[in-house]
Structure 1
Amino acid sequence: MKICNGLRPKSNYKIPKLIFDIINQCWNADPLKRPNSSELYQLIYVLWTNRNNANSVIYGQVKKTDEINKKLSFSLPLISSDTSISYVTHPQAVYTSKLLDFKNLPEPKNADDNDNLLGIEYSGKHT
């Protein structure tokens, strides 16, 4: 329900504005305004190919956000080195699926500037 009301996941680190813009496009309440896989690939590819070009906008934004994030104190690592997933199931457990009722969901909306996307911030200028 919160996502339908325009709320988005929180983040306690800064991200480059160009990446923030791509995330916002993917989170658009109107599915027709979200990038398809080809468009998303192209957006990310352009950033990736320019990541080491000191004259590119993304290079400057990444450097700036890295400096800010290094100064921040994180209680948990941003990326865990443990990629294994372990499941413990009860031998007598019975798992069933059920239909979910989505009839009374509110009309989806985008987050506005006041919501601040639940805390995700960006750094650097974007032209």
Structure 2
Amino acid sequence: MNKCLVAEPQNRPTAKELVNMLNIFLKDLENEKTELYKQVKNTKDLDKNFLTYDQVKSARFKYQTHPQAIYTSRSLKLSKLPKPASVG
């Protein structure tokens, strides 16, 4: 579990720890030899292919909503959610 999501605030990382983690993350993003860099590059390449596919697909299907349709939202009942678990 991510330390940032721990139920007890005193067990979460400090701002200084977060800055250090983000700096490491940024260095990994910029270094072509890291796995993170390779994964991000691969994802960007996939996005290019997906955008082309998505444009073709949207050209084929034109959806139109009914002018007299009424779209409403509804509230969700969240009273039965479990309490946050504490990681020790």
Structure with bigger RCO (C-alpha 8 Å, 6+ apart):
1
TM-score, with structure 1 as normaliser: 0.34
More strand as a share of residues: 1
